[in-house]
Structure 1
Amino acid sequence: MDGLLLGQVEAVELDLAANPYPDLVRAHAYWLAKRQDRLAPRRRDLDPVDLVEVLPRIMLVNVEREPLDFRYRLSGTGIGEMHGSDLTGTRPRDLRPPAYGRLIDSHYRAAVARRTPLLHLIVLDTTDRAHAYVRLLLPISEDGVEVTMLMSIDGKDQNKLPLRRFFETLTSRR
């Protein structure tokens, strides 16, 4: 895959109620407060000023219909640094390696279908070491019926340098 000795790309869904990541617990609590009694908050309910702690690690993902697809509307600076480029305007299936893009796309599809927040531990396994990070997906709904956008937040506590090197290696092989 892409000339990199990649073993597997996999994820484990974590129990949101047992979330041990304080920054993601706070982001989820903020989302719950803004949601109120609706399916999910609207985009205009979320104020970037309230999310300063996680802002560099946020992606806003537009949900496109017929056929269902996703496009990054906004990619935080921390995400861009990790991947070696700004992902705004791209789709999860554009991510490399392709197995990683398919995994992320499947998580987005699950969040839209289940209409609920999801927490995943994502593992990118190479022949010499595994790289992992945690990501929270939060639905956004403009109409209160369908998920129209997703807010993705990477956890603060991740091994940034090895992950950055992993994605840099993939970027240099394009």
Structure 2
Amino acid sequence: MTEAFPPVPPQAGPSGTGPTRTGPDPAIITNQHVLNFYNLWLSRCPPGGFPTKAEMDPLLMGRYLSTLLLLKVHRDPLDFEYRIIGEEVIALLGNMTGKRVGGSAMINLAGSAYANYSWVVEQRLPQFLEGPATTAFRKERVYVMSRVHCPLAEDGQTVDHIISCVAFL
């Protein structure tokens, strides 16, 4: 996998003022915190695969912990469960720990969290987003955010967790 996901060099300051951009290209992201997390995830990817949940050691991620989300992938039917949510994310968006995305999803202007997480599972790629977003809990409040969803796989191939890093601009 690491051949398909090159490291991202430092970028200029955040834009966050235009339309929401989403997709597999890390160039979407202008936030250095999110790019640094993506590069950490890349460093944990084994050749031709994804890191396991255990390989994303909290000791390595200390400076990211307050901005992370960890989701467990459920199948038949496909759904996602919020397992860990960082303090900064909870402070702005609410605590969804233990809830399924199908019933409590964050919604952004480019599509729902469910659709974004499903894309990561189906495409087996990280997904980046930057721009205006809102949540199911606070629909009246628009946030400008930068984030990456990164796949994790116990067997290195089948996405069973998604780890995300979110920064509010």
TM-score (norm 1): 0.73
Q: Does 1:82 align with 2:115?
A: no
User: Is the 2:70–2:82 Cα contact (8 Å) retained in structure 1?
Assistant: yes
CA shift for structure 1 position 38? 3.5
CA shift for structure 1 position 145? 2.2
User: Is the 1:122–1:135 Cα contact (8 Å) retained in structure 2?
Assistant: no
Q: How far apart, CA to CA, are the structure 2 residues paired with 1:129 and 1:83?
A: 10
- Residues 89-108 of structure 1 correspond to what in structure 2 (within 5 A)? 89-95=98-104, 100=108, 103-108=112-117
Q: Report the counterpart of residue 57 of structure 1 in structure 2.
A: 67
User: Is the 1:39–1:115 Cα contact (8 Å) retained in structure 2?
Assistant: no
User: Does the residue aligned with 2:158 lie in a helix, a strand or coil?
Assistant: coil
RMSD of Structure 2 on Structure 1 (CA): 2.6
Q: Does 1:31 align with 2:41?
A: yes
Q: How far apart, CA to CA, are the structure 1 residues paired with 2:78 and 2:28?
A: 31
Which of 42, 47, 50 aligns to 2:52? It is 42
The residue type equivalent to 2:29 in the other structure is N
Q: Does 1:152 align with 2:164?
A: yes
Q: How far apart, CA to CA, are the structure 1 residues paired with 2:160 and 2:114?
A: 15
TM-score (norm 2): 0.75
Residues 130-161 of structure 1 show CA distances to partners (whole Å, capped at 9, x for unaligned) of 53211110000001221000001102x52xxx
Structure showing the higher helix proportion among its residues? 1
Q: How far apart, CA to CA, are the structure 1 residues paired with 2:112 and 2:101?
A: 9
Structure 1 residues 109 and 11: CA distance shift in structure 2, 3 A? farther
Q: Report the counterpart of residue 14 of structure 2 in structure 1.
A: none
Structure with higher Rg: it is: 1
Q: Report the counterpart of residue 142 of structure 1 in structure 2.
A: 154
User: Is the 1:72–1:90 Cα contact (8 Å) retained in structure 2?
Assistant: yes
Q: How far apart, CA to CA, are the structure 2 residues paired with 1:30 and 1:96?
A: 26
Structure 1 unpaired stretches of 5+: 1-9, 159-174
Identity of aligned residues (%): 24
Q: How many aligned residue pairs are there?
A: 145
Q: Report the counterpart of residue 129 of structure 2 in structure 1.
A: 120
User: Does the residue aligned with 2:83 lie in a helix, a strand or coil?
Assistant: strand
Q: Does 1:71 align with 2:81?
A: yes
